[in-house]
Amino acid sequence: MTDHRDAVLRLWGRQLFERQGEPLAWAEGVLGATGRPLTVVTSAMSGRLDALADSPSDRAWLLFRTVAKLVANLRADGRYDAYVGTRIGPLALRLGELEPSLAGPLGDALGHLPDGPASLVTVHAAELSRSHTQRLRAIDALLEWAELGHPQARAALSDVASDHRMQEVTVWTKALNRIALFGDASVEQGLLRALADTGHRGVRWTALACAELGFRRAVPLIIALLEHPDPMVREGACEALGIFEDPAAIPALAARLDDEIPWVRSRAALALGHIGGDRALAVLWQAMMERRNPKANHLASAIAAFGPPVVDDLITLTTDPDPDLRALACRALGSTADGRALPVLERLAAHDLVRTTLGCLVATAAKQGLRTARRIRARTAST
């Protein structure tokens, strides 16, 4: 408990309170273990804090009065409160440090003293095999301990990620959402096995976890997920492949540019932009020029990610007879924030009043592009 002591105490205090089946009885026991007169404890439990007004003003008594107030607040509603539940344990523990003779009785009253979080982490790991509520609470607690750097918590989480067949899907996805806290080579085989189980409801998060940890053996399995019937899985697969930046995924991602779900199409375009290179650019450009979907702003944004090399071609596209293409070129030019694009956008914003298929003016698209470019340039200049 030498590192992150305050954070560990706060986490311990919250979890300690959450475990109390009868929080008022527990709080009364803590107050009784402080060594204060029974009449004072009784007054505090009944909410008559005015009885504490004449108590000594040394630090130990000040701590006791704070704990008493917390208990009085707790009595008012009996529910977990960030101010009440979290602080009773840590404050009482500090009281025991100020008055060593009370450390034993307070320790007995508090229970699970943080002589190091290992004992609590062990409890959390055991709870992963209990009720649904306990499992969810346990995985959240283990993630918080892992964030504080506790190796035993990281090991317990690695066990969770190593076999999806043993985990409830909500527990599995909670762990995988924060895989960076504990993931290493030891979980690779388990994640690959889960990725191959395409009927598992957590397969989307498995793909993203593999991408975050850089497990390149997962790429073929994730490419196969682009044909999954669940659009959420297809979208997650696109995102994961964009993180990998593997050119082998380009043909499969190109097919997703025609997906029936708009946000899958958008994620596929974004992934191609992340992968980069001539092949990915050619795929995006062809899809935009063929106008297979009138709402193709995602293609323009993805093309803009290629930066200066595409600016001249986009400027040329602003002279195309098709207003849809001119509007897309304007939006893409705005996202590049390239200085060469500004006079072109200004001219179109002032003069191109032709309507697109969707009913907006090309001039409006040019104005939007200008706003985007100026915002990006201002942000860049400030940094």
Please report which confidence band the pLDDT of residue 84 belongs to, taking 50, 70 and 90 as the band edges: low
Query: How high is the pLDDT of residue 80?
Result: 44
Over 50: is that where the pLDDT of 342 sits?
A: yes
Buried residues in 263-279 as b, exposed as e (16+ CB within 10 A): ebbbbbbbbbbbbeeee
Predicted confidence band of residue 76 (pLDDT cuts 50, 70, 90): low
Distance between alpha carbon 193 and the CA centroid of its chain, in Å?
Answer: 24
With a cut of 80, say whether residue 2 has pLDDT above it.
no
CATH of 309-383, one of 3.90.1150.10, 3.90.660.10, 1.10.3980.10, 1.25.10.10: 1.25.10.10
Determine what percent of the chain falls in helix, strand and coil, rounding each to the nearest 5: 75, 0, 25
Spatial distance between the Cα atoms of 70 and 17, rounded to a whole number of angstroms: 12
Q: What is the pLDDT of residue 78?
A: 47
Q: What is the 3-state secondary structure (H, E, C) of 279-321?
A: HHHHHHHHHHHHCCCCCCHHHHHHHHCCCHHHHHHHHHHCCCC
Choose between 300 and 30: higher pLDDT.
Answer: 300
- Whether 194 shows a pLDDT value over 70: the answer reads yes
How does 354-379 read in b/e, with b if 16+ C-beta sit within 10 Å? eebeeeebbbbbbbbbbebbeeeeee
Note the pLDDT tens digit of each residue in 32-72: 888 878 877 777 777 676 666 666 666 677 777 777 777 77
The predicted-structure confidence for 117-146, as pLDDT tens digits, reads as follows 566 788 778 888 888 888 998 899 899 889
Distance, CA of 234 to CA of 93 (rounded, Å): 51
pTM higher than the cut 0.85: no
Contacts of 70-74 with C-beta under 8 Å, sequence gap 24+, read: 70/27, 71/24, 71/27, 71/28, 71/30, 71/31, 71/44, 71/45, 72/44, 72/45, 72/47, 74/23, 74/24, 74/27
Q: Three-class SS of residue 361? A: strand
Kindly state the percentage of the chain with pLDDT values over 90.
57
Mean pLDDT of the chain: 87
How confident is the model over 196-224, as a mean pLDDT?
A: 97
In the predicted structure, residue 239 carries a pLDDT above the cut 90: yes
Distances from the Cα of 173 to the Cαs of 27, 147, 178, 197, in angstroms? 35, 17, 9, 15
Domain residue ranges of the chain, discontinuous segments joined by +: 5-110, 118-183, 309-383
> Is the pLDDT confidence value at 336 over 90?
yes
